[in-house]
Structures are given as structure tokens and as C-alpha cells.
Structure 1
Amino acid sequence: MGAASHVGAVRALNEDACLAAKHLAVVADGMGGHARGDVASRLTIDAFRPLAGRHDLSADDVRRSVVAANAALLADARANPEHDGMGTTLTGIALIDHFGSPHWLVFNVGDSRVYRLSDTGIRLLTHDHSEVQELVDAGRLTDEQARIHPLRNIVTRSLGSDPAPEVDVWIFPPAAGDTFLLCSDGLTNELDDATILQIGRDSASPESGAARLVAAAVEAGGRDNVTAVLVRLPDTELADDTALATTGPRARFLEDER
């Protein structure tokens, strides 16, 4: 794994946070401005740190961390009224044990994204929870129009809400050579898919790829904080089964803890 984050060329504060650990990567893009979106993203990442380095992750471990993150934001806002209104997106990928075999678990709340990069192209695995995505889904905007629409930064789901938001989840088997990109919208608002694919796929290492992606986004304008995490699965004896077994959005993912 490799991770990079930058405040960008315009903002004074980096409200993004990320975690790149064995079998787990997470990106959070804080919101709230003076309500301290940086606190929201940091608290969210902190909720996932106990999973770092573990080789026995399960979907339930991820679920509990999402619940803990949302609860931490609500508790902090109660203790610090000036933080009322803060929130954060959350997206991540974990290599979990699923019925006795390794599977990828991709999860998402908000408009940070997970992409799959391969020799055949770039594929967006997550679905944005945003005003512009709803307009795209309704056929009222094209993807290109959504990139510059004035509502593009308004999310419809985020952590820090009560009740907790629904989390979209996808579970699918790994394939040798899998490469994934997790990123905040500060990257996708500046770089097109072709550029993301070229840099992410062709970089010598995940570390250099993440750094190059962030640098390219800042150079292209850097109008927001920019964060990228690249995840590569080395060539192994894993079955080459690349079909996505979609299980999200799953309203029951957080049901037991509400």
C-alpha cells in the first residue's frame, strides 16, 4: 500500500485523513469548515486503527468500526458544541475472511471513492452519495456536467449523523495483481479517469503512485484537499475470479448497533 495527502493549492487546512495498514485501507474527507471537519476525519480514522496489522479481519470488524466512528463524532459534538455540524465521508477496502476464504470488502458513505485499476481500464466500484449523483441517476445531468456543477460538493450521506447513515458494501473475491485506488473528491475533481489509470497502474510502487496522483491533482488546480491510497495485491496463487458479487447498498450493515 501507499498513501499520500496534501492540503491543496487553495485550502488552509487539510480535512482529509487516511489509513493504509495490512489488509485495510481507509479514506475520510471531513466536512464542516469551522465545525472542524479535520476532527471528524481524524476521529473516523482513529476508530479503524485497532484493525491495523490484523490478518483475521471480518465484515463484522469493519461494521463495528463504522459504528464506533459515527458514535465518536456524535460524542465529540456533544462535548464540544463548536463542533456541532461536523461530518465526514468514509470509504475503504479490507481483505476479510468471508465464509472461510479471502474476499475484498469495499465500503462507502459519501462521495469519496474506490476504483479498480487493470489492464482493461478503470472501474468505479463505489456509488457517490451526493446531490449531483442523484441528478445523474435521474438522467438530468451527464457525468461531465456533474464534474463542474455547483452542487458537486454536497453529500447526501456522511458520518456524524443520528441515526447512523446506511453504508454501501460490496464483497467479491480477490484476483492476483488486483490494484485499487481510494481517494477523496479533491483528486477526482481535478483528474480524469485516463490520467488516474495511467498514473495509478504504471507507477513503480503504490507509494510512488499515490504521491504522483496527489501531485498531479494539486498541479491541475488543487482546489480541495487531495488524498490517495493505492492498494496492490501481489501476484499469488489466488483464484483469478474478478466477478463482483455486489451486496450493497446493504441497509442491514449497521442494523445491530443502531
Structure 2
Amino acid sequence: MPEVSTESVAVPIPGGVLDLSWAAVTDTGRRREVNQDAMFAAYPLFVVADGMGGHVGGEIASASAIERLRAVAEGGPVNPKTIEKALARAVKDIASHPDATDDGTGTTVTGVFLDTTGHTAHWVTLNIGDSRVYLVRDGAIVQITTDHSVVQELVAAGRLSPEEAENHPYGNVITRAVGPSEGVTPDYVRLDVLEGDRFVICSDGLTKELTDYGIRHFLDENADPADAVTAMLDAALENGGRDNITIIVLDVGRPAVASPSEEGDESGAADAAASDADAHSSPAGD
């Protein structure tokens, strides 16, 4: 079992300070020989990539996407333009391994980042493929991302019920991925920042083994993010562990209200960050 710990950070946002805590884990599972999942979890970006294609190709694809996104998170700013530029570079990275990758190689890319550049902080989810972002708010769990999969298209068209989709033979067939031949633009969803929110970012290795209700159960039972991801991983392995499993749990704490002088300083910092983001933004591509 991987060793898991909870990390935390206090983030200055317009009007105050936001406390964030998170934990992340990835595991090969019980039936796969290698782990083709990859992840990055550090403020302000929390993202999962689930690779596919050959014995090595999926690992190359997911690692390329995550490393390019890591560079964005560590160098800043994180926004749709810098994300898409990173993914375009990942496409070139994947294509640079023709001996191990082909048209069937690719990776999902799914996650969430905190945007503090405006007058109000917002979460932004991003998604390509069938990894997922869930949000638990006010006691309810909601899947924020929409799967890019054949099964989801059948459900949306009314040709499959959600129950029938659970064990459909095309359950693993996705319709969008970051691959070696072309880039794709993620779907984005913008969300308010609210105290008490809990995000789960996961590959389908978790959702193959746990229902949405099961995910919520382990979140309700485990207040600490490290305990929550460990409990979900244990349950997914117990239920079969048919695929690689990657889970990030991100908790949003109470925003601490800044004093008037601090608020002015933070507002100025936010304006400066926004100006800096505008100055350094460029279209996707190399």
C-alpha cells in the first residue's frame, strides 16, 4: 500500500485567505502489470491522467501530459491558454516515441485548478476523457465533468440507462484523448469557492469499483483527505482492482477574512497577478 499523507496550504485570495488540504494516491491495482496512471497534486493544480495504448505507450502518454502540466503549475500562471499549450507540447512528446506509441495511444487529462486572478476566486475543472471530478457540497455528491466515452454518448441519446451503462462492453472506449497525432481542447467548468467543499479527482479505476454513493460514503466517514483516499483505494482493491486506480481528495477550508489593510494588499496582488497572466498568455501551441 502506498504511503499517503495530507498536505495543506493557506492561499491568499481576494478578500481573505483560503485553507486547502489534499492527499493523493495511485496504485497499479490487482490485474494490471504496470501503472499507466499519472497525477500531479500541488496548489494550484490537481490533475489525473489515465494512459492507454500498448504496454509502454500509455505510460508515456500520461507521464508526458502530467510533466507538461507540472511545469505550468510550478511556473505559472495556470489558465486555459497555458494548459492547452502544455497539452500541445505533450502531444509532441508522445509522438516523439514512434517505437512505443501509435494511433491507439493516448491519455485522459482531468482535474481542477484555483483561479485567483479576478476579483473573486473560482475553481475551474478541466476534462478530456473519462477520468472524473466529483464535488461534494451541502451533503450531495455531483459529477462535475462529463465523460467523453461511447457509453456516455449512448446515455445522453437515451439509448442506455445509467444502470445499463455500468457494465456495458464498450465501457472502456473513450471518444476524446490527448494522443500522438492531434491535440484536443479540454471542457472547462467554472465553480464558486465555498467552505466545506470536497473534490475527488480520479481515474476510472476507482469508478469501476465504487459507485458515486460509495465514494460519498468514504468521504463522509473520513474527514482527513489521506484517510479518505486510503479508504477508497482499499475498497476499490477489495472490489476487484481491475484497473489502475488514482485518487485525489481536495478539501476547501474556511476562508479567513482579511483585515482592511490586508484586503487592500491582497486585492493589489490579485490585480498584479491578473496583469501578469495577460502579459504572459499565448495561444496553445509550441
- The TM-score range, normalised by the shorter chain, is 0.7 to 0.9
Residue number among 177, 181, 186 corresponding to 1:158 in the alignment: 177
Q: What's the offset of the Cα at 1:54?
A: 6.5
1:2 aligned onto 2:28: no
Unaligned 5+ segments in structure 2 are 1-21, 258-281
CA–CA distance in structure 2, aligned partners of residues 50 and 165 of structure 1: 19
> What aligned pairs does 1:63-74 form with structure 2 within 5 A after superposition?
63-74=84-95
CA–CA distance in structure 2, aligned partners of residues 194 and 57 of structure 1: 32
CA–CA distance in structure 2, aligned partners of residues 38 and 221 of structure 1: 22
Q: Secondary structure at the match of 1:44?
A: helix
Match in the other structure for 1:218 = 237
1:59 aligned onto 2:80: yes
CA–CA distance in structure 1, aligned partners of residues 102 and 51 of structure 2: 13
1:257 aligned onto 2:284: yes
Give percent identity, aligned residues only.
37
CA–CA distance in structure 2, aligned partners of residues 58 and 41 of structure 1: 20
Going from structure 1 to structure 2, the CA distance change for 1:48 and 1:219 (only over 3 Å counts) comes to same
> What aligned pairs does 1:155-194 form with structure 2 within 5 A after superposition?
155-194=174-213
CA–CA distance in structure 1, aligned partners of residues 144 and 51 of structure 2: 21
Going from structure 1 to structure 2, the CA distance change for 1:201 and 1:67 (only over 3 Å counts) comes to farther
Q: Secondary structure at the match of 1:3?
A: strand
TM-score scaled by length of structure 1: 0.86
Q: Secondary structure at the match of 1:114?
A: strand
CA–CA distance in structure 2, aligned partners of residues 16 and 155 of structure 1: 15
- Alignment check: 8 A CA contact 1:28 1:41 kept: yes
Match in the other structure for 2:101 = 83
Going from structure 1 to structure 2, the CA distance change for 1:22 and 1:37 (only over 3 Å counts) comes to same
Q: What's the offset of the Cα at 1:192?
A: 1.0
TM-score scaled by length of structure 2: 0.78
Going from structure 1 to structure 2, the CA distance change for 1:40 and 1:161 (only over 3 Å counts) comes to closer
Going from structure 1 to structure 2, the CA distance change for 1:165 and 1:57 (only over 3 Å counts) comes to closer
Q: What's the offset of the Cα at 1:35?
A: 5.0
Q: What's the offset of the Cα at 1:30?
A: 0.3
- Alignment check: 8 A CA contact 2:155 2:161 kept: yes
Residues 183-236 of structure 1: CA deviation (Å, up to 9, x unaligned): 001110110111100112431311221121111111111111111000111111
Match in the other structure for 1:29 = 50
Residues 28-78 of structure 1: CA deviation (Å, up to 9, x unaligned): 00000235201111111111112345685333333332333233223x23x
Residue number among 71, 86, 106 corresponding to 1:50 in the alignment: 71
Unaligned 5+ segments in structure 1 are 239-254
- Alignment RMSD: 2.0
Q: Secondary structure at the match of 1:83?
A: coil
CA–CA distance in structure 1, aligned partners of residues 284 and 82 of structure 2: 12
Q: Secondary structure at the match of 2:34?
A: coil
Match in the other structure for 1:146 = 165
- Alignment check: 8 A CA contact 1:59 1:105 kept: no
Residue number among 222, 247, 251 corresponding to 1:228 in the alignment: 247
Residues 69-96 of structure 1: CA deviation (Å, up to 9, x unaligned): 233223x23xx33322321011010001
- Alignment check: 8 A CA contact 1:56 1:96 kept: no
CA–CA distance in structure 1, aligned partners of residues 78 and 100 of structure 2: 36
Residue identity opposite 1:90 in structure 2: V
Say how many residue pairs are matched.
239
CA–CA distance in structure 1, aligned partners of residues 226 and 113 of structure 2: 18
- Alignment check: 8 A CA contact 2:196 2:253 kept: yes
Match in the other structure for 1:19 = 40
Residue identity opposite 2:169 in structure 1: P
Residue identity opposite 1:172 in structure 2: L
Residue identity opposite 1:170 in structure 2: V
CA–CA distance in structure 2, aligned partners of residues 51 and 163 of structure 1: 20
